[in-house]
Chains A and B, each alone.
Chain A
Amino acid sequence: MNAIFEGIGASVRRKEDLRFLSGRGHYTDDMNRPGQTHCVLKRSDRPHAIITSIDTSAARAAPGVVAVFTHADLDADGVGGVPCGWQIHSKDGSPMVEPGHPVLATGRVRHVGDPVVAVIAETRQQARNAAELLVIDYQDLPAVAHIADAIAPGAALVQEAAAGNTCFDWHIGDKDLVDAAFARATHRVKLDLTNNRLVPNAMEPRAAIGDYDAMSGDYTLITTSQNPHVIRLLMGAFVLHIPEHRLRVLAPDVGGGFGSKIYHYAEEAIVTWAAGKLKRPVKWTADRSEAFMSDAHGRDHASTAEMALDAEGNFLALRVATVANLGAYLSTFAPAVPTYLSATLLAGVYKTPAIYAEVRAIFTNTVPVDAYRGAGRPESTFLLERLLDTIAHDTGIDRIELRRRNFIPTDAFPYQTPVALQYDSGDYVSTLNAALKAADWDGFAARRAEAKARGKLRGIGVSTYVEACGIAPSKLVGALGARAALYEVAQIRVHPTGSVTVFTGTHSHGQGHETTFAQLVASQLGVPFENVDIVHGDTNKIPFGMGTYGSRSLAVGGTAMVKAMDKIIAKGKKIAAHLLEASVDDIEFANGNFTVAGTDRAKSFGEIALTAYVPHNYPIEDIEPGLEETAFYDPANFTFPGGCHVCEVEVDPETGVTTVVNFTAVDDVGRVINPMIVEGQIQGGVAQGIGQALLENAVYDEQGQLVSGSFMDYTMPRADNLPNISVGTETTLCTHNALGVKGCGEVGAIGSPPAVINAVVDALKDYGVRHVNMPATSQKLWQIIQDSSAQPAVANLSSN
């Protein structure tokens, strides 16, 4: 047994890539069950309309059709609506308006893509043919798609129960303190900004297969989910009323999620319910067009941010008012995103003593919006870091100096912010210094001059950020409105010959858990890396779990593994003490060996495992045979990764085209288990951040049609849009989990957008530009340049 030991901190190649890169992954759509039928959904092509009639007769009579279902069939079976997992209360204490979210549209359609009828046939082709024979009569209603239209007086109502289209009007912080600080401030800087709406576009579109065993009464749902247990809970308890022991949810290989596969979607309920009804498996797979109009979108905030400063540029108070577009219905975690996942981050890395934020969430006739990579933290980070540069612009204080002056000092941790969070650790000075050095900030002037000689406008931008992830303490999130817990579960099964199977409640959909977790377990138990297998994505195999999102898998799920391994080691010590005829207190465990302290008398981990399963010589009165332990871990706090991103761009003033020429990220993600995977996660996140900043935009027209509803119009970032992304880490350890880990899944998408826009604004500074909203498309920049040369005075200065 002398295989290569791969420990913490090694860039082990990802085990899972062999099957992914050779086309042998097992995705939901790859699976087929005997007797399977195919479901096609007829979706609304209207943004807002009353359904006056649905005639299914021709569709029912079409070749191969097994069944055609409308909301009436679901109602007859008592099927519930899609639930929302987070409740927010408004300022006045009233709960948010929580309208029903029917599985199939009932009476009305509220966005293009709202599912209306499910057609189930022997083949997908037959189901599509039959769906074209449906006759649905609509009476169109006025629609609102954009924030400004939805909040305008007299706007059409998306949900009858939501006056003014308001879902809730929430706030956090101390308004009086903030008002007082503004009254005495020397500088007040104000900025209006939007956070553009995004379509997640995971590589694998969503898919689901429902199955039912009439003998046992067991249901199975195979689905593209980031959290199968959460789906089992939500769908079983609220929608279909199937108890947990009768419902198995599998999330096999999943091709990316970025948040969009957290939520419980109507299609999962339809196929599961229909499978029970028809006693045959039912499969649904989204095509890309469906994905655009049915996967929860991301972002879509409009904010006003104001900072009060003293004469030296110290922040006195921050005031923020945001309107968040939640779409037509409440997706699973939608209410949490603009509130507890965003406004609580408004201190950022700064010691702003007073903060007050208001968030009005509204309904529109658009696809529901929910968490998307970063979930609320990219929005607050963009707001703060754009505001920082705007303050520098308006006051003349150097933007780096302004940041340094207001950083939470390195010796101030744990640091309590004015907006609920307590940061446990961080060192914003060191990440800033390292990033500026790596990006050669000081050499920029020469590069700018050189670019100018080539007719290009070169700009550099910085963003310093912190985020809250590893979500997290059940008690805290419960108090904040979560209707679920957020702990994580690990079960470690040591087999008789010493190999190990780890069952985790987290789910890997590209993150490389099968490698990182195997490294973690191998290093802790001292067994070879290849002797550790990670099992995820099956509610029948894994005790429980809350899944993967919010960069929580290692910080919460990995710590649960450590807790389970602690129990394994404690038990192993008892067995070793017995075999070695020593006291338990004298047994030490290191590098896979149980040793009597101070001697060379030892038993290997494998010998102990074998003894546990073949307990011939065993303290059977004191301990049970076997070596398997489970741990539930509920962390004490969120984790707080942070860092500094520096972006350098060149703008072609003739065309408005921006090229990102350099990108440097220096992040503090806590302890790093696999540096290669961390680098990949950060690069991927930065790619999405550059996408948001320069390219991506979900555009609805005034009537509520999704104009950018395909890749012909929705600009996904591609390799040639991206620079070489240089990634570095500076580490402070998380103080409240055993590994000292923080999380790296979202930092790239959180820190990068403002760095890019700050660079763009810097590039255009000679044109008097103060702010540019995302995405900074070539057309937008060309227009800005045009307008400013028309009137060369400083444009758009709204400082007061």
Chain B
Amino acid sequence: MYDFAYEKPTALAAAVASLAGDMDAKALAGGQTFIPVLKQRLNKPTTVVDLAALGLVGITVTADSVTIGAMTTHGEVALSAAVQKAIPALANLASMIGDWQVRHRGTIGGSLANNDPSACYPSAVLALGATIVTDRRSIAADDYFQGMFTTALEQGEIITKVIFPIPQKAAYQKFRNPASRYAMVGVFVAKTAAGVRVAVTGAAQGGVFRHAAFEAALSANFSPDAIAGIATSADDLNSDIHASAEYRAHLIGVMAKRAVAGT
């Protein structure tokens, strides 16, 4: 990696100021994406602003929502009895991210800020209709994801927490990329007060997206059979050495059926 200055502010305002004052300053959360990028010299920040001392950790569960601090690790979410009870699908999703080392470092805020097209969390955030809270505003999931590695975050904007409404039922099914173990296709289905929402990650060039045809069919009949006959178009899906767009399109259907069956 290239040399950079390192800061570990203890107040959110100080972190925001550091990032706002310097276009080339970058936030560091669990470092599971950022540090490999630095090691490969693909990024040359002036200052790395470590978010670890801002107190952005913790899980709060109320009657109708689960709030997770941005710096809460995947491991903490996976093992949280409160999350397991309120939204078991979310704890399950967290337990399937990477390996234990990754889960002990990687954070929900880092994952959402990064918005890797094959990351897991974006599917839960979108399917559950979560709200992303930052140092300056609240952003609805439907407005947040704007294409691969692209979000509604402004330069220097820091995610502080994510609020998930508790669904009636939900489930996540992940088809892992055999090499990286990221989602080659991940489908999160949720039956919520606002209706059925289905979000697909890993598959599309533009990152996570909602599957309108599945949502319509499942709203009418929340069962695997309801979507069994619905084909997903391979247009705009990713194609690589592990999976063609057609194979991904097929897997979206299989994973969605299994997710519905698993709720």
Evaluate whether A711 and B247 lie within 8 angstroms (CB atoms) in the complex, with A655-B254, A779-B242 already known.
Answer: no
In the bound complex, do residue B242 and residue A654 qualify as a contact, i.e. CB atoms below 8 Å apart? no
CB of A782 within 8 Å of the partner chain: yes
CB of B49 within 8 Å of the partner chain: no
Evaluate whether A782 and B247 lie within 8 angstroms (CB atoms) in the complex, with A711-B179, A712-B179 already known.
Answer: yes
CB of A778 within 8 Å of the partner chain: yes
CB of B222 within 8 Å of the partner chain: no
Chain A residues closer than 8 Å to B240, beta-carbon distance: 713
A41 to chain B, nearest CB (A): 15
**A767-779 vs B, Cβ < 8 Å mask (1 yes, 0 no):** 0000000000111
Give the nearest-CB partner of B255 in chain A: A655
Evaluate whether A708 and B254 lie within 8 angstroms (CB atoms) in the complex, with A713-B180, A782-B247 already known.
Answer: no
Chain A residues closer than 8 Å to B254, beta-carbon distance: 654-655
User: Given A708-B179, A712-B180, A782-B250, 8 more contacts at CB 8 Å?
Assistant: A655-B251, A656-B247, A711-B179, A713-B241, A715-B179, A716-B179, A778-B178, A783-B247
CB of B34 within 8 Å of the partner chain: no
CB of A167 within 8 Å of the partner chain: no
CB of B61 within 8 Å of the partner chain: no
Partner of A713, one of B2, B41, B175, B179: B179
Chain A residues close to B by CB (< 8 Å): 125, 128-129, 132, 289, 654-656, 695, 697, 699, 707-708, 711-716, 777-779, 782-783
In the bound complex, do residue A699 and residue B241 qualify as a contact, i.e. CB atoms below 8 Å apart? yes
- What are the 8 tightest A-B residue pairs by CB atom distance, in nearest-first order? A715-B179, A712-B180, A715-B178, A654-B254, A779-B247, A713-B179, A699-B241, A779-B243
In the bound complex, do residue B242 and residue A777 qualify as a contact, i.e. CB atoms below 8 Å apart? yes
C-alpha spacing A35/B190, complex, angstroms = 62
Give the nearest-CB partner of A716 in chain B: B179
Chain A residues closer than 8 Å to B3, beta-carbon distance: 125
CB of B10 within 8 Å of the partner chain: no
CB of B244 within 8 Å of the partner chain: yes
B209 to chain A, nearest CB (A): 21
* Interface of chain B, main secondary structure: loop
B18 to chain A, nearest CB (A): 25
Partner of A695, one of B2, B178, B241: B178
Chain B residues closer than 8 Å to A708, beta-carbon distance: 179, 241
A719 to chain B, nearest CB (A): 11
Partner of B180, one of A695, A707, A711, A777: A711
A352 to chain B, nearest CB (A): 37
Chain A residues closer than 8 Å to B178, beta-carbon distance: 695, 715, 777-778
Chain A residues closer than 8 Å to B241, beta-carbon distance: 697, 699, 707-708, 713
Chain A residues closer than 8 Å to B40, beta-carbon distance: 289
C-alpha spacing A715/B184, complex, angstroms = 14
Chain B residues closer than 8 Å to A712, beta-carbon distance: 179-180
* Range of interface residues on B (Cβ < 8 Å): 10 to 19
Interface residues in B217-263 by Cβ distance below 8 A to A read 240-244, 247, 250-251, 254
**B14-56 vs A, Cβ < 8 Å mask (1 yes, 0 no):** 0000000000000000000000000011000000000000000
Give the nearest-CB partner of B182 in chain A: A712
What are 20 contact pairs spanning A and B, CB under 8 A? A125-B3, A128-B41, A289-B40, A655-B175, A655-B251, A697-B241, A708-B179, A708-B241, A711-B179, A712-B179, A713-B179, A713-B180, A713-B240, A714-B179, A715-B179, A777-B242, A778-B178, A779-B244, A782-B250, A783-B247
B111 to chain A, nearest CB (A): 17
C-alpha spacing A783/B241, complex, angstroms = 13
C-alpha spacing A102/B175, complex, angstroms = 45
C-alpha spacing A139/B104, complex, angstroms = 47
A315 to chain B, nearest CB (A): 37
* Interface of chain A, main secondary structure: loop
C-alpha spacing A175/B210, complex, angstroms = 63
C-alpha spacing A76/B7, complex, angstroms = 49
Chain A CB count within 10 A is highest, among B3, B175, B247, B254, for: B247
Chain B residues closer than 8 Å to A656, beta-carbon distance: 247
Give the nearest-CB partner of B258 in chain A: A654
A113 to chain B, nearest CB (A): 16
Chain A residues closer than 8 Å to B180, beta-carbon distance: 711-713
C-alpha spacing A782/B242, complex, angstroms = 12
C-alpha spacing A190/B238, complex, angstroms = 37
Chain A residues closer than 8 Å to B179, beta-carbon distance: 708, 711-716
C-alpha spacing A143/B3, complex, angstroms = 37
C-alpha spacing A777/B175, complex, angstroms = 13
A31 to chain B, nearest CB (A): 22
C-alpha spacing A711/B98, complex, angstroms = 13
Give the nearest-CB partner of A778 in chain B: B178
Chain B residues closer than 8 Å to A655, beta-carbon distance: 175, 251, 254
Give the nearest-CB partner of B242 in chain A: A779
A94 to chain B, nearest CB (A): 39
Give the nearest-CB partner of B39 in chain A: A287
A709 to chain B, nearest CB (A): 11
Chain B residues closer than 8 Å to A289, beta-carbon distance: 40
C-alpha spacing A778/B250, complex, angstroms = 12
A344 to chain B, nearest CB (A): 34
Chain B residues closer than 8 Å to A711, beta-carbon distance: 179-180
Chain A CB count within 10 A is highest, among B178, B179, B254, for: B178
Give the nearest-CB partner of B179 in chain A: A715
Chain A CB count within 10 A is highest, among B2, B41, B250, for: B250
Chain B residues closer than 8 Å to A777, beta-carbon distance: 178, 242
Chain A residues closer than 8 Å to B250, beta-carbon distance: 782
C-alpha spacing A695/B241, complex, angstroms = 12
C-alpha spacing A736/B24, complex, angstroms = 70
Chain B residues closer than 8 Å to A778, beta-carbon distance: 178
C-alpha spacing A129/B41, complex, angstroms = 10
A591 to chain B, nearest CB (A): 50
Interface residues in B150-185 by Cβ distance below 8 A to A read 175, 178-180
C-alpha spacing A68/B173, complex, angstroms = 53
Interface residues in B175-202 by Cβ distance below 8 A to A read 175, 178-180
Chain B CB count within 10 A is highest, among A132, A695, A711, A782, for: A782
B182 to chain A, nearest CB (A): 8
C-alpha spacing A250/B40, complex, angstroms = 31
A600 to chain B, nearest CB (A): 62
Evaluate whether A713 and B242 lie within 8 angstroms (CB atoms) in the complex, with A655-B254, A708-B179 already known.
Answer: yes
C-alpha spacing A460/B244, complex, angstroms = 28
Chain A residues closer than 8 Å to B247, beta-carbon distance: 656, 779, 782-783
C-alpha spacing A654/B251, complex, angstroms = 8
B214 to chain A, nearest CB (A): 17
C-alpha spacing A267/B41, complex, angstroms = 23
Chain B CB count within 10 A is highest, among A128, A655, A699, A783, for: A655
Chain A residues closer than 8 Å to B2, beta-carbon distance: 129
C-alpha spacing A654/B255, complex, angstroms = 10
C-alpha spacing A129/B2, complex, angstroms = 8
C-alpha spacing A707/B179, complex, angstroms = 12
A318 to chain B, nearest CB (A): 34
B231 to chain A, nearest CB (A): 13
C-alpha spacing A302/B240, complex, angstroms = 23
C-alpha spacing A308/B241, complex, angstroms = 37
A197 to chain B, nearest CB (A): 13
C-alpha spacing A654/B253, complex, angstroms = 10
C-alpha spacing A715/B180, complex, angstroms = 8
Chain A residues closer than 8 Å to B175, beta-carbon distance: 655
**B135-146 vs A, Cβ < 8 Å mask (1 yes, 0 no):** 000000000000
Chain B residues closer than 8 Å to A654, beta-carbon distance: 254
Give the nearest-CB partner of A721 in chain B: B178
B164 to chain A, nearest CB (A): 29
B156 to chain A, nearest CB (A): 28
B219 to chain A, nearest CB (A): 24
C-alpha spacing A716/B181, complex, angstroms = 11
Give the nearest-CB partner of A128 in chain B: B41
**B98-128 vs A, Cβ < 8 Å mask (1 yes, 0 no):** 0000000000000000000000000000000
Give the nearest-CB partner of A717 in chain B: B178
C-alpha spacing A783/B251, complex, angstroms = 12
Chain B residues closer than 8 Å to A695, beta-carbon distance: 178
